[in-house]
Chains A and B, each alone.
Chain A
């Protein structure tokens, strides 16, 4: 069999690891007692039934790289055992070991029902090890040649296309995908092939083929748990294309294949927004955009729920109104947006959500005063006041924002910490650091449960204020190593206290392996700032030598070459 060296075939025999009953004598797995085996079989049978029920009675594996449960059942105990070992390493992404285990399985159980599956997974391991040519020629093609009737042969045909695509062999990939689509049009592999093929049509802008594939996925492909996502994406793409080229009804029909009646209007609006935005932004196609907006709004009106007096009916009507407003917003029809919100409010009464949406739209159009007028109408006065404060902050009217938050502080005493935090944040935005620090210090006393948060905020505020000593004092009290150490080191550097900074970076190197490369690079820069040229060079070289795979090694290497004209950077590595 292709891909299986003979040395591997004898290796099992050499070690004498196969006995009479066919149990592999692996060091970590001794022969199991019969009772345990039976229990395991029962568990497997139970699991099979459960999964069959979940799948609606179908026993077909949904994923291409999984063995169906009914075929697992057909395997002998020893085969199952070996395959499980290989699967374990495959799941752990230990590709080299998994490859060897699949190879062992194929060597030992060449005539097993699981052999095509083993060969397929062997090939997938080769793909992961970036040996795509080997995977195609010795793996996937072998599955097709030796087990042409197996389900894995269809999967292998798809994977050949995918491997060619990953290698940049566009023409071969297209041929392979087309073969899957022609020969197994209802299979999951065909759905995946169609998705990949669509991606290939993007390269040469073959819109005709793309449309054909989208239609295939949308209207003809059977929807299973695995293919659902591909079909859904295709239907949305097809709808977006139809909307952009004045085929509104076709677009809705495409979406209707995926979404049922209650979700459909929401999905139509979510898809129509992007093409609508593009159309109205283009002066030549603006009229087309306006027409699309009118068409969508009219369609939404036709889909509007029957008027009612119950809360549910009102809520449904509001949601519908929001969709119309969203369409008008996307079409940049400001007057109609305002009109729509006013209609919702007048017909269905004041509602915080409607007011909030209306005000958010006003804020996005820089109509802050009008937005605040809407917030003032909130039933939940505290939330309205918060939003008023936020709008003042957005406008950079910090005093007014603080007044708004302070009004909430008086109203909502229980959540005092929340409003104090907002006030402190506003002071920081206004660069009134002393006032912000005073508020944080008050929070440290009044809200001990969040001490860590307030310590960090106080330290950061001191740092922003340029009071590095005080900042270091607060950072030192924080427990979020190594972030606090890096901030402390930065403060020391700002104070030109380089030795302290280097000590702190050194502690990061020793105590936080994930940040070690960065910290070592910072040691280099700090030594450079301190004027210790030789020590800086050593530190940069250390980054290249100790962490050659890190992106910081790249920075250190370039810095050594550009600043010091040193070519011996001591880095170098491999992608192993």
Chain B
């Protein structure tokens, strides 16, 4: 039923970085299972306008082996916080056009509330600590973007000792 494999899609892992276009089915099919009563999915797409400024396209870069490890860590954190949760995450790198999918997340759980909460948790953690960067290409220039959350200073969001050890 879910046997089709798209280009760049790994057979053996739930957390990966790709240069190929993302389809939400790629993460969905990795977590759907009989014990699940809910699969919550999140798709992050390339936005054209930010505070009135027009984006032409984005360039994403990752420290690939570490980024995949950190995505796996997020999966373990979710499994520890929400009972019987399974997670899959894919993030694309390279040049992305407006409305392209940059990230797709799927979390399956027995009941819907946990799936909603856990998928939100996953995207927030990605923005905190997974080594992936985006470069904005505007009509009038370019910039590597950092610290998107901007609620606390970056220095105060260093990973905890526990996170370092669990990594």
Please say whether chains A and B are actual partners in one complex: no
Residues of B within 8 A of A (CB): none
